[in-house]
Amino acid sequence: MQPYKQDATGAWWVIFICHINLPDIQPTADRPVGIDVGLESFTTLLTGEKTAPPKFYRRSHKKLARAQRKLARAQKGSHNRAKARKRVAKIHQKISNQRADWLHKHALGMVQRFDVVCIEDLNIKGLARTKRGTLWVKSFSDASLSTFMQRLQEKAEWCGRRVVKVGRFYASSKTCHVCHSKTALKLADRMWTCPTCGTTHDRDGNAAINIVHEGIRLLAVGTTESQNAAGDGVNPAKRW
């Protein structure tokens, strides 16, 4: 790998590796959290706290369309065309920087607040083949879930926290966290009432509670896909 490169916007990047001291994070009295990731809220915590998916692309969409039209009209080989191409690249880069920044901060916030982060291990590629999956992929075009998972893992390594991935076949949404009976739900059912015990649930908040229960159970029985924060020899310097 060359230690420097120039990107499509014309900016030069110098690449170097350094050793840094990791932030000293205090334990949080052993607080676990369950996170449900979804369509309307990027994340819902077991407390019901929701974070909307960021709309960076939509925010810059008009600007981007204008720049792309200008590029299409510019004469091939002209100075104006080169300028227009750089402008389009800069807008794309800004959107991707905004997403990356948001994902870093959102993931760090989770591991700073909680000791054990339980999250559903969703397979985006698998989901893409289903009708439901199509929706998922569109929804996450603004903030990729798999990048969020990676960020969670690396921040957990930094802070000595654990990330527990709960299998994607675990029925977190349709299981009532109070009486554990299962109810068939449509994707549109955001709120539902359990026919067995009568509890009314927020769909994602209920799922987040089930995810943390399952995560803690997996940790306890030790057959977990959880990644011990310090376990897999990742050099944080490589990731940043």
Q: Which residues are catalytic?
A: 36, 120, 204
Rounded Cα–Cα distance for residues 150 and 152 (Å): 5
161 within 8 A of 109, measured Cβ to Cβ: no
Rounded Cα–Cα distance for residues 61 and 120 (Å): 31
Rounded Cα–Cα distance for residues 120 and 218 (Å): 13
Instruction: Please report, as ranges, the residues that interact with Zn ion according to CB under 5 A.
Output: 176, 178-179, 194, 196-197
Least Cβ distance, residue 200 to Zn ion (angstroms)? 10
Residue for token pair 């994902």: 103
Long-range CB pairs of 226-230, under 8 A, 24+ apart, other chains included: 226/162, 226/163, 226/164, 226/165, 227/153, 227/156, 227/162, 227/163, 227/165, 228/162, 229/156, 229/157, 229/159, 229/160, 229/161, 229/162, 229/163, 230/157, 230/160
* Residue 227 one-letter amino acid: Q
Based on CB atoms, which residue is closest to Zn ion, 148 or 192?
A: 192
Based on CB atoms, which residue is closest to Zn ion, 134 or 196?
A: 196
Least Cβ distance, residue 167 to Zn ion (angstroms)? 22
Least Cβ distance, residue 193 to Zn ion (angstroms)? 9
Based on CB atoms, which residue is closest to Zn ion, 197 or 230?
A: 197
Least Cβ distance, residue 197 to Zn ion (angstroms)? 3
Based on CB atoms, which residue is closest to Zn ion, 80 or 196?
A: 196
Rounded Cα–Cα distance for residues 84 and 81 (Å): 5
